[in-house]
Every structure is written in structure tokens, then in C-alpha cells.
Structure 1
Amino acid sequence: MNQRPLVEEYAGDFGEYIRLVPEGNIIDILLAQEKQMTELLASLSESQGAYRYAEGKWTLKEVVGHITDGERIMTYRLLRFARGDQTSLPGYDQEVFMPPFGSWTTAQLAEDYRAVRQSTITLLRGLPAEAWSRKGTANNVSITARALAYVIAGHELHHMGVIRNRYLS
């Protein structure tokens, strides 16, 4: 899938993430991200994973857990919309999803991340052409399945920038 989502395919804050995604096949981009994240997690010590750059900010482990849970939620939305489900889906409170990640090892985070990413890629590879442009509503915003695939990649790109600038510098 090489076609970027058109502006009409999304609204709200989703555009911030979509604009971060480079040109290219979205599945190839997601695969490259998987390799990069897996290498990053393999290189971290547990103390680096527990690092928090300021009071009240997430640890690096929590950021990775947030990326993974965010992907789970966006992929669920993508699946529903790609299949033609028009049920309006709610937003979610990212803080509610945070509690377990501080106690996880970096190896557990890597395993969880890889499983979720592989599931996303398998879903995307199996979508028929017409499914990519199907729309639904999530958090009161209309968005297509294609745009959600880009949101997944862009959300990770956003947080990888934060990781590079705040956690690893």
C-alpha cells in the first residue's frame, strides 16, 4: 500500500502523526520500525528502561508500553472500519493503560511490541483494496482504515523522536 491518506480521510490530531510518516509502502515502514524498536530495546539496560527525564514524565519502558497499547487500539479501530463496521468507537485514557509497564523487563516489552506489530502487519497484508478507504468514527473523529495505518506509524515516529531527544541523549 503506497497511497498516503488524503486530507479528507482524517481530522483532528490524527494529522499530526500522519504528516510524520515518510513516503513509501506503509507495511515496509512498519517493518522497518519493528526492526529499529527491537534493536533499541535489546540495547537497553533495565536502569535505562526505568529512566524518567523529569518528575511526572513516563519512564522509557512506559513510553514503549504506550506505543504498543496505542497500536493495539488503533489496529482494533482499523479492523472494525476496514470490515465496514460503522459503530462509533470511544476514545481512551492513555493513563489508564500505563500501570504495568514500569515492572516489565525490556525483554517483555520487546516480545509484546513484536507480537502486536506482527499482528498489525498480518492484518494490513490481508486487507482487500477497497477496505483501505472505508471510514468509521473514533473519538468523535471520522477516519479511514488507511489513515489509521499511518497514525500507527506516525505515533511511533513521534515517540521515537522523544526517546532519542529526552531519554538517550
Structure 2
Amino acid sequence: MRPETGTYPQYFDHYIALVEENEVQSALKNNTDEFLKFLDSLPAEKAEFAYAKDKWTLKEVLLHITDAERIFAYRALRFSRNDTTPLPSFDENEFIEFANSGKRSLQSVIDEFKTVRSATLSLFNSLDNDELTRKGIGSSQTCTALAMGFIIAGHTKHHIKVIKENYL
């Protein structure tokens, strides 16, 4: 099942629309295969490249994808467990500012993503339909665990496009 409009903040429409699959587990599995293949094709010499002043480097974009996935998966876990405690937003620019990407290799950033995605897959593979449709509040907006999974996959697809257009 796909998330229905109204079960997530409207500003995530773009990410969810990028996901072609109709089940979150297959969406995340296929997205993982696509993204890992894409990561293998990235030239190491582009790791520190930023396409404009004040834009993130390629490594920073990859760290952003991983950071956002961790946060979205955590929200999905909390929502699926019927936790209605409002969860705060996060400032992606502050996260990147303090990520120390310059001290890391491109491979270490890729390896971190693989670890996080493995945990995300495990989480979503463990959730049944009741758990997936439970709601919570993140960034002052109501969302379901199911929608969080589609947002994770769509967010990654969005950044594949950004990387192809601006970094390669």
C-alpha cells in the first residue's frame, strides 16, 4: 500500500511521487539496489567537489542523505510503536556543518550509508500494516510510519537526480 494524501505533510509529495512501487518494503529494496549501484559509479575525485559557492560537496550530500534517513527511520519507529510524543525538526545545514566530511574518505561515507540502509530495511521489513499506518508528529506535522518509508526512498531518488545534474 502507498501512503494516502493527508497521511503526511504535503511538502513531501515530491519525494513520494518519485517512488514507483506500491509497497514500502519493495520500494526500499529497489531503491537500495539502485543507490548502491549509483554509489559504486561515483568518481573519487569528485568527493570534495561543490558545484557552486556555499553548496555542499558530494560527500556532504551523501552524509545528508544518511542523516535524513536516520532521522526519518527513527520517526517511523516511534510512530509505528504508537508514540505520539511530538518529535522536533532538524536543521540539515547545521548537521552538515558539524559532520566533519573533510576528514572522511568517500568510501567511509558510502559505508556508513550502507549500514544505515541495512537497519532501515530491517525496520520496515519487521512492520505489519497496523504498525505502518500508525501516526506520529514530526516537525509539527502528522505523518504515518508508512509515509516515512516512502519519503526515505523518494529523498534518496531526489538526491540521485541532484548529484547527476550538478556533481557529475
* TM-score, scaled to structure 1: 0.92
1:35 Cα deviation after fit? 2.6
Counterpart residue identity of residue 6, structure 2: E
What is the percentage of aligned positions where both structures have the same residue? 38
Paired residue secondary structure (1:95): helix
1:60 Cα deviation after fit? 0.8
Q: How many aligned residue pairs are there?
A: 166
Paired residue secondary structure (2:143): strand
Question: Is 1:57 aligned to 2:55, yes or no?
Answer: yes
1:30 Cα deviation after fit? 1.8
Counterpart residue identity of residue 77, structure 1: R
Tell me the residue number matched to 2:24: 26
CA RMSD, 1 decimal: 1.4
Unaligned stretches of 5+ in structure 1?
Answer: none
1:46 Cα deviation after fit? 2.9
Instruction: Map residues 1-169 of structure 1 onto 2, 5 A cutoff.
Output: 3-98=1-96, 99-168=99-168
Unaligned stretches of 5+ in structure 2?
Answer: none
Instruction: Write the deviation string for residues 85-138 of structure 1: whole angstroms up to 9, x where unpaired.
Output: 000001000012113223321210111011100100101111122001100110
Q: Does the CA-based 8 Å contact 1:59-1:102 persist in structure 2?
A: no
Counterpart residue identity of residue 50, structure 1: E
**Partners of 1:101 and 1:35 in 2: how far apart?**
24
Instruction: Write the deviation string for residues 46-80 of structure 1: whole angstroms up to 9, x where unpaired.
Output: 32111111111111111111001000000000000
Q: Does the CA-based 8 Å contact 2:35-2:156 persist in structure 1?
A: no
Paired residue secondary structure (2:83): coil
Specify whether residues 29 and 85 from structure 1 end up closer, same or farther in structure 2 by C-alpha distance, changes over 3 A only.
same
Paired residue secondary structure (2:40): helix
1:21 Cα deviation after fit? 1.1
1:44 Cα deviation after fit? 2.9
1:12 Cα deviation after fit? 3.2
* TM-score, scaled to structure 2: 0.92
